[in-house]
């Protein structure tokens, strides 16, 4: 008599992952990171792995609203032989492999998953492979890119949309183009000759109005108006690689574009701006510059390291817990980070701040503190600097203040402005080195060359140390590059290094500095237009012979 053994629950558990894998197809929008949905941000925060359409999407992941898990692996889909896109089944195999271990895999796709990227076949392959999936819809590039190009689709006389990134312009698919008032097609540059042939064969006239938009919705967007029979020549002039995305708008909507171009007329559109700061500190600046159309590149000039001896910080943290201080004053994000790391080292959390008053030098430092769950008691309302904090700090009152000590964790090279101001107000200041700042390693050779030869349109300096360190590791910016400084002290340091300062922020904050640069660029553009000159970026104009 034969018997059949039945797997026990323990047998099953040993042969299968404890958590079933899941794939989330997330729409990333047309290219502007600000168009990510809340659902997309939440999915990325919970992902164990992220698979990108291409390497260009890495810029989206640097958006300050996105937080990836520390262990989340980020990879980009490659190409098949001959630089052809992978088939849906090939893409699905990569996705399934990532999800097979029980993780949550975010498959980040351009535009909207089902509208733009034809990932329905990819999703079906996941189901056949035993992997569950869900979709987080995104802003479709088919509707968003025309808007970024300044095209009104409401008065387009009816629109025929098509996503054809595979270049298969069959007669059945393209036949409706002949009678449509407006046609919007998403494809790749290499497929444009086939698209033109298909449009002409469908009955569209050779002199049909066309608008080509490459990299729509990104700071690299380029829009070219032309006729249908001029498309191939027009795109060749842009020198765009064959694999670059392009949107083709044909017909009534392209003809009526008129004066609605709003994105490419932003004051800093197309500007390449150098931000010499550490990446986490640069985020608010980069986000603001992007709203004005700029493409920012961060070059770390300072490396943050622990103090040479931890004894002073250890003593201060113990004193904080024991109630030794009335106030703690943070002068930078790095100071918040240094104290938080010490807390975690001791197994403490934000509750240890109970009963302690907290002051910060400005809004960026306040945001870092709130990220820890602590609401500051004092943020300067006027000048956001050490001097501004000292000006608004309350004097010591021996009746109202039970303790007269202030804990001031700061950098080893920080100025004495705040400490001296607090002493004048009657406080006893314990000035503690929480971290050291040392000059960072030089940037790559191509970045150093771009700085020296004027390929950056502007450099934004946010402190005197960033000026000294950038010049030290990369050399002086080219004379034609616009120099922007966060305040008078930074301006003075620039001038000491032979740099003419073109822009100074109205108040010492990174957002105000970005706003000031944008205003400068807008005034510069208006002056060129008024003089009848072609509007060129600083990197496109001949530089003056010297800076000062």
Within this chain, do residues 232 and 150 fall inside the same structural domain, yes or no?
A: yes
User: Does residue 1 lie within any of the structural domains?
Assistant: no
User: Does residue 377 lie within any of the structural domains?
Assistant: yes
Q: Pick the more confident residue, 452 or 439.
A: 452
Determine which of 208-217, 406-415, 495-504 has the lowest per-residue pLDDT on average: 406-415
Question: If pLDDT is split at 50, 70 and 90, which confidence band does 160 have?
Answer: very high
pLDDT tens string 372-381 = 999 999 999 8
Within this chain, do residues 451 and 462 fall inside the same structural domain, yes or no?
A: yes
- CA atoms of 315 and 404, how far apart (whole Å): 18
What's the average model confidence in pLDDT over 33-54? 92
Residue 286: pLDDT over 90: no
Q: What CATH number is associated with residue 208?
A: 3.30.950.10
Within this chain, do residues 399 and 377 fall inside the same structural domain, yes or no?
A: yes
What is the pLDDT, as a whole number, of residue 62?
Answer: 81
What is the pLDDT, as a whole number, of residue 82?
Answer: 64
What's the average model confidence in pLDDT over 431-443? 88
User: Does residue 29 lie within any of the structural domains?
Assistant: yes
The neighbour count for residue 20, using CB atoms within 10 Å, is: 12
- Of 166, 40, 42, 62, which Cα lies nearest the Cα of 108? 40
Q: What are the φ and ψ backbone dihedral angles of 429, each rounded to 5 degrees?
A: -105, 125
User: Does residue 498 lie within any of the structural domains?
Assistant: yes
User: Does residue 9 lie within any of the structural domains?
Assistant: no
What percent of the chain has a predicted confidence (pLDDT) above 70? 93
What is the pLDDT, as a whole number, of residue 138?
Answer: 94
- CA atoms of 50 and 55, how far apart (whole Å): 12
Within this chain, do residues 54 and 65 fall inside the same structural domain, yes or no?
A: yes
What is the pLDDT, as a whole number, of residue 4?
Answer: 39
Residue 228: pLDDT over 80: yes
Within this chain, do residues 160 and 223 fall inside the same structural domain, yes or no?
A: yes
10 Å CB burial of residue 233 (0-12, 13-18, 19+) is: exposed
Within this chain, do residues 401 and 516 fall inside the same structural domain, yes or no?
A: no
Residue 197, beta-bridge partner list: none
Specify the DSSP element, H or E, that contains 441.
none
What is the pLDDT, as a whole number, of residue 12?
Answer: 42
Q: What CATH number is associated with residue 414?
A: 3.40.50.10090
User: Does residue 240 lie within any of the structural domains?
Assistant: yes
What's the average model confidence in pLDDT over 194-213? 96
Within this chain, do residues 287 and 200 fall inside the same structural domain, yes or no?
A: no
User: Does residue 7 lie within any of the structural domains?
Assistant: no
Q: What CATH number is associated with residue 131?
A: 3.40.1010.10
Q: How would DSSP label each residue in 182-233? A: EEEEEEEGGGHHHHHHHHHHHT--TT-EEEEEESTTSTT-EEEEEEGGGHHH
Residue 543: pLDDT over 70: no
What is the pLDDT, as a whole number, of residue 436?
Answer: 87
What percent of the chain has a predicted confidence (pLDDT) above 90? 58
Looking at the structure of the chain, the number of domains it has is 4
3-class SS letters over 128-164: HCCCEEEEECCCCHHHHHHHHCCCCCCCCCCEEEEEC
Q: At what angle do helices 333-346 and 279-291 cross, to 10 degrees?
A: 140
Boundary-marking domain end, from 139, 160, 182: 139
pLDDT tens string 168-192 = 999 999 999 999 999 999 999 999 9
- CA atoms of 331 and 317, how far apart (whole Å): 17
Q: What is the mean pLDDT of the chain?
A: 88
User: Does residue 387 lie within any of the structural domains?
Assistant: yes
Within this chain, do residues 206 and 319 fall inside the same structural domain, yes or no?
A: no
pLDDT tens string 81-115 = 666 677 777 888 888 888 888 889 999 998 999 98
Q: Pick the more confident residue, 193 or 309.
A: 193
- Of 92, 93, 142, 150, which Cα lies nearest the Cα of 114? 142
3-class SS letters over 226-261: EEHHHHHHHHHHCCCCCCCEEEEEEEHHHHCCCCCC
Determine which of 123-137, 280-294, 321-335 has the lowest per-residue pLDDT on average: 280-294
- Of 458, 436, 467, 469, which Cα lies nearest the Cα of 516? 458
Boundary-marking domain end, from 122, 139, 156: 139
Domain encompassing residue 231: 142-255
Q: At what angle do helices 279-291 and 363-370 cross, to 10 degrees?
A: 120
- CA atoms of 487 and 466, how far apart (whole Å): 13
Within this chain, do residues 425 and 459 fall inside the same structural domain, yes or no?
A: no
pTM, full prediction: 0.74
Residue 544: pLDDT over 60: no
Within this chain, do residues 364 and 471 fall inside the same structural domain, yes or no?
A: no
Question: If pLDDT is split at 50, 70 and 90, which confidence band does 18 have?
Answer: low
Within this chain, do residues 422 and 458 fall inside the same structural domain, yes or no?
A: no
Within this chain, do residues 294 and 390 fall inside the same structural domain, yes or no?
A: no
């Amino acid at each position: 008599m034969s018997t059949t053994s039945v797997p026990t629950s323990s047998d099953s558990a040993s042969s299968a992952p404890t958590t079933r894998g899941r794939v989330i197809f997330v729409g990333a929008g047309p290219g502007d990171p600000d168009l990510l949905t809340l659902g997309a941000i939440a999915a990325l925060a919970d992902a164990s792995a992220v698979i990108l359409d291409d390497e260009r999407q890495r810029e989206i992941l640097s958006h300050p609203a996105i937080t990836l898990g520390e262990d989340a692996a980020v990879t980009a889909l490659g190409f098949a032989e001959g630089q052809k896109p992978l088939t849906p089944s090939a893409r699905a195999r990569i996705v399934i492999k990532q999800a097979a271990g029980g993780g949550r895999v975010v498959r980040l796709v351009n535009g909207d998953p089902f509208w733009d990227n034809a990932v329905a076949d990819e999703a079906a392959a996941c189901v056949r492979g035993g992997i569950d999936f869900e979709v987080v819809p995104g802003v479709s590039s088919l509707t968003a890119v025309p808007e970024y190009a300044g095209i009104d689709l409401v008065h387009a006389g009816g629109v025929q949309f098509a996503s054809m990134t595979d270049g298969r312009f069959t007669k059945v698919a393209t036949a409706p183009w002949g009678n449509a008032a407006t046609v919007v097609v998403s494809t790749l540059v290499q497929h444009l000759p086939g698209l033109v042939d298909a449009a002409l064969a469908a009955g569209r006239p050779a002199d049909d109005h066309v608008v080509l938009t490459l990299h729509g919705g990104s700071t690299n967007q380029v829009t070219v108006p032309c006729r249908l029979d001029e498309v191939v020549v027009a795109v060749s002039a842009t020198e765009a690689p064959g694999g670059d995305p392009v949107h083709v708008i044909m017909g009534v909507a392209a003809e009526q574009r008129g004066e609605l171009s709003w994105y490419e007329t932003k004051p800093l559109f197309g500007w390449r701006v150098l931000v010499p700061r550490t990446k986490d500190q640069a985020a608010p600046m980069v986000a603001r510059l992007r709203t004005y159309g700029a493409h920012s590149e961060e070059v770390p000039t300072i490396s943050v390291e622990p103090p040479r001896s931890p004894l002073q910080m250890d003593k201060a943290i113990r004193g904080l817990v024991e109630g030794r201080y009335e106030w703690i004053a943070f002068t930078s994000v790095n100071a918040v980070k240094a104290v938080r790391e010490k807390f975690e080292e001791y197994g403490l959390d934000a509750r240890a701040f109970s009963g302690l008053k907290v002051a910060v030098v400005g809004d960026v430092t306040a945001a870092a503190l709130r990220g820890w769950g602590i609401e500051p008691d004092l943020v300067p309302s006027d000048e956001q600097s050490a001097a501004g904090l000292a000006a608004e700090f309350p004097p010591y009152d021996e009746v109202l203040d039970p303790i007269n000590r202030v804990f001031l964790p700061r950098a080893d090279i920080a100025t004495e402005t705040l400490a001296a101001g607090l002493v004048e107000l009657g406080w006893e200041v314990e000035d503690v080195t929480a971290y050291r700042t040392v000059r960072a390693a030089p940037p790559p050779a191509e970045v150093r060359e771009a700085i020296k030869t004027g390929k950056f349109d502007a450099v934004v300096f946010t402190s005197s140390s960033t000026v000294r360190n950038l010049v030290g590791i990369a050399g002086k910016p080219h004379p034609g590059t616009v120099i922007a400084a966060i305040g008078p002290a930074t301006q003075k340091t620039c001038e000491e290094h032979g740099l003419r300062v073109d822009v100074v922020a109205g108040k010492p904050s990174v957002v105000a500095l970005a706003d000031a640069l944008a205003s400068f660029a807008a005034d510069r553009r208006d002056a060129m237009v008024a003089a009848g000159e072609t509007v060129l970026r600083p990197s496109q104009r001949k530089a003056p012979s010297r800076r000062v």
